[in-house]
Amino acid sequence: MQTQNSAQSFGLSLLLACVLLGALVLVGCAPGDPNAAAPTQALAPSAVPTITAPPTLTPRPPGGNLTVRLPEDVPALRPWQPRNRSEEQVIKLLYSGLMRLDSELRPQPDLATDWATTPDGRVLTFTLRDDVRWHDGQPFDADDVRFTIEQLRSLPFTTTALLADLRLIAAVSVPNSSTVALSLTERYAPLLAELTLPILPEHALQDADFASFNFWDVPIGTGPFLFDNRVSGQSIVLARNPDFYRGAPLLE
């Protein structure tokens, strides 16, 4: 009896041990909780970019000389018939027009302050600046504009294309010293761009023989630079215009 009981007790103990072992195995194989948070990994600190301050620009003092090498000689300084690109560049520094072209090639007032056009586009009226002087000190006014346009239509060296545009101007009237009106034979929008042509001083040219007058050798304009001297085939020297209406150039 004692042996049988011992055997039974041993069997029960073995069965219980197997059940417990199976439970442990099932617990160990059970899938983890899908909602359990993953272990947090510490992120390495990111590098802070270094911002370099821009260098401080020191403005150069005004004054000094600028020497530019021109590819061609400048034989004369005729505003409407430059012989080459070099002459054209120098002319732009000496003279001003009623209009100028901005960086996008749109006409903007220059010697004029503004302009108005009639509804039919055939009359353009310009109001002129009152702070402009010629390089010889004489004041600029509307008569200079009238004189220039009238002379251009008769000068032998006016270019054919420009002459065709100017012939669209039937009349030039001067209501007062600061106003000039152009009456056209027909509407012509590109005329504003053509009015960038250099304006000439009536007081210096009204009695001149344009074919032989030495004005072209010693020109008088209203531009930012005025003529100083020229050595044929070698150099041409300009000086800044201290009275330039848009502010004197920084160069001497």
26-39 core/surface letters (b: 16 or more CB in 10 A; e: else): eeeeeeeeeeeeee
pLDDT score, position 24: 38
Task: Write out the chain's pLDDT in tens, 252 residues.
Answer: 444 444 444 444 544 444 444 443 434 444 555 555 555 555 556 666 677 777 777 766 777 788 888 888 887 787 777 778 888 889 999 999 999 999 999 999 999 999 999 999 999 999 999 999 999 999 999 999 999 998 887 765 555 566 677 888 999 999 999 999 999 999 998 899 989 989 999 998 888 776 666 777 788 999 999 999 888 888 889 999 999 999 988 886
Domains and CATH numbers, the chain: 98-218 (3.90.76.10)
- C-alpha closest to that of 236 among 18, 84, 60: 84
pLDDT score, position 33: 52
Q: Are 227 and 215 in contact (CB under 8 A)?
A: no
In what helix (H) or strand (E) does residue 246 lie, and over which residues does it extend? Answer: none
pLDDT score, position 109: 97
pLDDT score, position 63: 73
Environment class of 247 (CB within 10 Å of its CB; exposed 0-12, middle 13-18, buried 19+): exposed
pLDDT score, position 44: 57
pLDDT score, position 102: 93
pLDDT score, position 113: 97
